[in-house]
Chains A and B, each alone.
Chain A
Amino acid sequence: MSDLQSTAQQVIDRAKKDGATAADVLIREDDSFSVTVRMGEIETLKQAISRKVMLRVFVGKRTAASQTSDLTPAVIQALVDETVEMARLTSDDDSAGLPEPAVYRNGAPDLQLVDRSWETVTPAQRIDFAIRTEAAALSTDKAITNSEGASFEYARSQVAVANSLGFNGAYEGTTAALYCVPIAQSSEGMQRDHWVSAARHQDQMDLPENIGRKAAERALRRLGARKVPTAEVPVIFDPLTARSLLGHLFEAISGSAIYRRGSFLIDQIGQPVAAENVTIVDDALMPAGLGSIPFDDEGVSTRLTPIIERGVLKNYLHSAYTARKLGATPTGNGTRTASGSVTIGPTNFYLKPGSYTPEEIIGSTKNGLYVVELIGFGVNTVTGDYSRGAVGIWVENGKFVRPVQEVTIAGNLREMLNNIEMIGNDVTFQGSIAAPTLKIRNMVISGE
């Protein structure tokens, strides 16, 4: 048993002594390093080890939670005492409680979350990754005149979860990301864009030179962007912007949105909710996946959960609470928030690749917008209404013709899901939510 696991056990014991009928705890330790380089020089260098203890207690059907970064035994003890007191002041809630014992797995599967070889990479080499990335971006074209910099981040995390039913598990993971934000300039103004490679293993990372060049090319193609007339046309989302659509969908199928009736997808299990070519899964067990975990923050064994299969809604994602509330099984998506309470989080939540190359999808479009960046928060999960600021490239007769900015794209997520006409073969994982290129039959573009 690791140090974290024994601290976790002590917290549980204290809570029970205080009168908690059940309790669970999560302890997380992150050893992190980050460097940002700008115009060839180090701008910031940051390094730290941080720890957090998150506790949840039940007094009968009453719940309270707490969190502390101060692990001094006296502070933890006082916080446990106070959390139990707080729980007594909340209301009885029939669905409250730990996950049932049946959902814990003995022995965690090896998900290849750790790459020990990162430990042999010196700080100088880490800094060099960022320097090479930015240098590649700056040398791509003389129109790349400036930069917001390139960053390399690395973290080794340890997580321990224990509860009063006897579950006590721990796992480790490494993650790294190399990120670059170059700025291109022309007489019409400046444009920036970015590219990132993120992975758990060194050999999954893209080369710094490729990341820098790709980021530069993305910024360059935006130069001279302008508005287009207001129109209703097909819209192609590149894998990064398509990923944001999956993010909205994740919100809409999370058990907490469902029981609150705050989703346009309530009461629709077994119903067609998307075009027939759409299959979406949440797969916690993907080897070396950025969102892979052997058990969730409640200790529940993780798995592959089909969300949409050939257009039909199969499952919502649950914590122990939302599962009990909605008469379902926990799916291993319980996630602790910063305050210590439990909500729903994605593992590897993605739309399965289709058969088309991105070029074929662009080539199929007579007149439309290829979207490369979306900004703003104009998405209503309750109704599905969607309206966001977009940057992209206009497509005419299957070819990119000119960059576009200062326009919005609008529609409704329900209709957008049903109007997914083509799916790319290029799923791009840069985090726990991912998607391939997607073409949506029509949306309203508001511009001039």
Chain B
Amino acid sequence: MELTRSIFFQTYNLTVSDLETYLNEALSRGGDYADLYFEYRINHSIVLEEQIIKSATKSVGLGVGVRVISGEKTGYAYSDDLNRENVIKAARTAAFIANASTEGGKIRVSAPLSEERNLYPIPLLPAELEISSKIALLQESDRAARAFDSRITQVQASYVDETKHVLIVTSDGKAAWDLQPMVRLNVMCIAEEAGRRQSGYQGAGGRRGLDIFTGELDPKAIACESARQAILQLGAVDAPAGPMEVVLGPGWPGILLHEAIGHGLEADFNRKKTSAFSGLVGQKVASELCTVVDDGTIPFRRGSLNMDDEGNPTHQTILIENGTLRGYLQDRLSSKLMGLPLTGNGRRQSYDHIPLPRMTNTFMMAGDSAPEDIIKSVKKGLYAVQFGGGQVDITSGKFVFSASEAYLIEDGHITAPVKGATLIGDGPTVLRQVRAVGSHLKLDHGIGICGKDGQTIPVGVGLPTIKIREITVGGTAK
């Protein structure tokens, strides 16, 4: 990871002595802790629409965020450049949160050392790739979607990537850096027939080079899946309304865990006792079939990180073990105040945002039921395999997630496709309703975006096929 060193220490002439100066300024009013988050980010996007390359964009983000913690209080300021004067000004602004008259001791920063672990080694950074190879992916997607069915009338394919250099320095004297790549391909199709229109979507990505778009994730496969969903929806019937048995397909339906469990276990809400999960550690919150983890260490995944945005290594954290609630997702502030170990979940959107406890890749471990047996065991219910987004009210625990591809199950058989419908449930109790867990865990294709307090970050989810005894389905057919 010498490149990051060159970006901040060579291109921007940063020195260890600068870092010490900034941290000393940040603690000049006696805060307990300070950190600096340097970021240099390049994003590209290309959009294909109406069979032509409509536009290409490049975006450059550079800045440093200065955080000072004093007790439970956080002071934060940032600078959009690395100009020494401006960083010192930001450090003094953040310092205002503390009001001790005496300065803290002088800080020494040890020279940055490379992390040994690299979860996303790639030969060429997205920022270095030829634009023509990215355009080729879009053209291939467009051709494949249009060839899939003549009822596909519109195809919008987009490619985005990110190359992000991060350097984090703390008043504990630690320095750590990372180079975080990300690519993503999206295909949206519109199908029309006899005056009816429907859309389909499929996307894929991860912290990897363009070689991720091969096999199951090649542009053709992604495009055909998007087209298939649009065509399928043309024949969809109204979704049912009311509580019923629901089987969730593997992979992306893991968004259930993200909404129902994950957010409610973020430590800040539990420290402040504003989560429906507050005080439930050690208690049974799910069927014994359920073991749920958050794991930021899976190579090349969209939600993975070598270190979190506070410079701490990511972990695999067990949230629920055989039905029992085990723990929370921590950032530095909450772990300190709660006296619990760090889990490497302090994340932020960018240098202009304060870190918060966030998820990485959240999924349920496989069980031992054959997926086809799970379907066969349902007399009347819903089989949901694709979802749009979800949301949760942390305090009441109520969550929703919206199915975009779902079918009726009648007498153990998958029958008619139904229109999109939102499913609603209660986070702390929904997993008690799990009656079967499939034998094969599938992770999503790398498209998750999670929002909290106005900050969005990439995440992953995963799920084996599961059966939920009862959850409310929000269709229109009574």
Closest approach, in angstroms, between the C-beta of A145 and any C-beta of chain B? Answer: 9
Verify if B79 is at the interface (C-beta below 8 Å from A).
Answer: yes
Given the known inter-chain contacts A262-B199, A380-B199, A448-B243, please indicate yes or no for A91 contacting B475, CB distance below 8 A: no
B274 touches A192 (CB 8 A): yes
Verify if B78 is at the interface (C-beta below 8 Å from A).
Answer: yes
Chain B residues within 8 Å of A183, by CB: 274, 395
| Dominant SS among interface residues on chain B | strand
A-B interface pairs (CB < 8 A), number? 257
Closest approach, in angstroms, between the C-beta of A419 and any C-beta of chain B? Answer: 13
Chain A residues within 8 Å of B354, by CB: 44, 46
A66 touches B57 (CB 8 A): yes
Verify if B435 is at the interface (C-beta below 8 Å from A).
Answer: no
Complex: how many Å from CA A189 to CA B277? 11
Verify if A42 is at the interface (C-beta below 8 Å from B).
Answer: yes
Verify if A71 is at the interface (C-beta below 8 Å from B).
Answer: yes
Verify if A409 is at the interface (C-beta below 8 Å from B).
Answer: yes
Complex: how many Å from CA A387 to CA B472? 12
Given the known inter-chain contacts A44-B354, A64-B57, please indicate yes or no for A387 contacting B389, CB distance below 8 A: no
Chain B residues within 8 Å of A70, by CB: 60-62, 80-81
Closest approach, in angstroms, between the C-beta of A386 and any C-beta of chain B? Answer: 9
Verify if A328 is at the interface (C-beta below 8 Å from B).
Answer: no
Verify if B376 is at the interface (C-beta below 8 Å from A).
Answer: no
Chain B residues within 8 Å of A376, by CB: 389-391, 400-402, 422, 424
A409 touches B474 (CB 8 A): yes
A230 touches B190 (CB 8 A): no
Complex: how many Å from CA A42 to CA B199? 47
Q: A71-101 vs B: 1/0 string, CB under 8 Å?
A: 1100100010011001101111100000000
Closest approach, in angstroms, between the C-beta of B390 and any C-beta of chain A? Answer: 6
B57 touches A446 (CB 8 A): no
Within 8 A of B (CB), among A122-170: 146, 148
Q: Which of the segments B46-54, B114-122, B177-185 contacts the partner chain?
A: B46-54
B476 touches A444 (CB 8 A): yes
Given the known inter-chain contacts A45-B74, A183-B395, please indicate yes or no for A91 contacting B272, CB distance below 8 A: no
B395 touches A388 (CB 8 A): no
Closest approach, in angstroms, between the C-beta of A420 and any C-beta of chain B? Answer: 18
Closest approach, in angstroms, between the C-beta of A42 and any C-beta of chain B? Answer: 5
- Name which residue of chain A comes closest to B423, CB basis: A408
Q: Which of the segments A275-283, A292-300, A333-341 contacts the partner chain?
A: A333-341
Verify if A431 is at the interface (C-beta below 8 Å from B).
Answer: no
Verify if B93 is at the interface (C-beta below 8 Å from A).
Answer: yes
B475 touches A446 (CB 8 A): yes
A190 touches B56 (CB 8 A): no
Chain B residues within 8 Å of A447, by CB: 242-243, 472
Q: Which one of A41, A189, A230, A387 contacts B422 once the chains associate, using CB atoms below 8 Å?
A: A387
Show the binding face of B for A, using Cβ within 8 Å: 43, 45-47, 49, 52-63, 72-81, 90, 93, 96-97, 131-132, 135, 153-154, 156, 190, 192, 197-199, 239, 241-243, 272-274, 276, 352, 354, 388-393, 395-402, 419-422, 424-426, 472-476, 478
Q: List 17 A-B contacts (CB under 8 A).
A: A42-B97, A43-B72, A45-B96, A67-B59, A69-B80, A83-B58, A86-B57, A90-B53, A146-B272, A146-B273, A189-B276, A191-B396, A192-B396, A261-B192, A378-B474, A387-B420, A410-B475
